[in-house]
Amino acid sequence: MQRTEPPIGVFDSGVGGLTVLRALRERLPGESFLYLGDTARLPYGTKSAETVCRYAEQAASILVDHGVKALVIACNTASSVALEHLRRRFAPLPVFGVIEPGAEAAVAASRRGEILVIATEGTVRGGAYERAIRALRPAAAVISTPCPLFVALAEEGWVEGPIAEAIARRYLEPILAGRPEIDALVLGCTHFPVLHRAIGAVTGPDVTLVDSAATTAAVVAASVEEGLLRPSRAVSREIRFLATDAPQRFARVGAVFLGEAIAPTAVELVDL
pLDDT given at position 155: 87
Q: Judge if 103 and 191 occupy the same domain.
A: yes
Q: Are 52 and 44 in contact (CB under 8 A)?
A: yes
Domain boundary among 166, 196, 213: 213
Q: Judge if 126 and 169 occupy the same domain.
A: yes
For residue 140, report the phi and psi dihedrals to the nearest 5 degrees.
-65, 145
Mean pLDDT, range 91-97, rounded to an integer: 96
Q: Are 193 and 213 in contact (CB under 8 A)?
A: yes
Bigger pLDDT: 171 or 231?
Answer: 171
Q: Judge if 68 and 105 occupy the same domain.
A: no
Give the torsion through C-alpha atoms of 61, 65, 66, 67, to 10 deg: 100
Q: Judge if 229 and 251 occupy the same domain.
A: yes
Q: Judge if 117 and 142 occupy the same domain.
A: yes
Q: Judge if 157 and 104 occupy the same domain.
A: yes
Full residue range of the structural domain in which residue 77 is found = 8-97+215-269
Predicted confidence (pLDDT) at residue 5 exceeds the cutoff of 70 = yes
Set 10, 71, 75, 195: catalytic member = 75
- Please name which of 115, 167, 165, 116 lies closest in space to residue 137, comparing C-alpha atoms: 115
Predicted confidence (pLDDT) at residue 183 exceeds the cutoff of 50 = yes
Q: Quickly list H helices, the chain.
A: 18-27, 49-65, 76-89, 99-109, 121-126, 128-136, 148-156, 162-178, 196-203, 212-225, 247-258
Q: Judge if 162 and 188 occupy the same domain.
A: yes
Q: Are 38 and 61 in contact (CB under 8 A)?
A: no
pLDDT given at position 234: 64
- Among 68-72, 113-117, 193-197, 227-231, the minimum mean pLDDT is found in 227-231
Predicted confidence (pLDDT) at residue 1 exceeds the cutoff of 60 = no
pLDDT given at position 125: 87
Bigger pLDDT: 11 or 231?
Answer: 11
Set 189, 195, 209, 229: catalytic member = 189
Q: Judge if 160 and 75 occupy the same domain.
A: no
| Order of strands, sheet of 184-188, starting from the edge strand that comes earlier in the sequence | 141-146, 114-119, 184-188, 208-211
Bigger pLDDT: 42 or 59?
Answer: 59
pLDDT tens per residue across span 48-86: 999 999 999 999 999 999 999 999 999 999 999 999 999
Q: Judge if 170 and 233 occupy the same domain.
A: no
Q: What percent of the chain clears pLDDT 70, i.e. is strictly above it?
A: 97
pLDDT given at position 237: 81
Q: Judge if 72 and 118 occupy the same domain.
A: no
Q: Taking each helix axis from N to C terminus, what angle separates 148-156 and 247-258, rounded to the nearest 10 degrees?
A: 100
Q: 0.85 exceeded by the pTM?
A: yes
Q: What percent of the chain clears pLDDT 90, i.e. is strictly above it?
A: 84
Distance between CA atoms of 87 and 79, rounded to whole angstroms?
Answer: 11
Q: Judge if 247 and 193 occupy the same domain.
A: no
Distance between CA atoms of 84 and 49, rounded to whole angstroms?
Answer: 13
Predicted confidence (pLDDT) at residue 2 exceeds the cutoff of 70 = no
pLDDT given at position 236: 65
Number of domains in the chain: 2
Assess whether 75 carries a catalytic annotation. yes
Side chain identity, residue 121: E
Predicted confidence (pLDDT) at residue 3 exceeds the cutoff of 60 = no
Cis peptide before 92 (omega within 30 of 0): yes
Q: Judge if 208 and 223 occupy the same domain.
A: no
User: DSSP secondary structure string, 19-48?
Assistant: HHHHHHHHH-TT--EEEEE-TTS--STTS-
| Partner residues linked to 91 by β-bridges | none
pLDDT tens per residue across span 220-263: 999 988 877 777 876 668 899 999 999 999 999 999 999 999 99
- Please name which of 104, 160, 170, 113 lies closest in space to residue 135, comparing C-alpha atoms: 104
Mean pLDDT, range 136-150, rounded to an integer: 96
Residue 2 placed within a domain: no
Here the CATH number for the domain that contains residue 128 is 3.40.50.1860
Task: Give residue 195's pLDDT band: very low, low, confident or very high (50, 70, 90).
Answer: very high
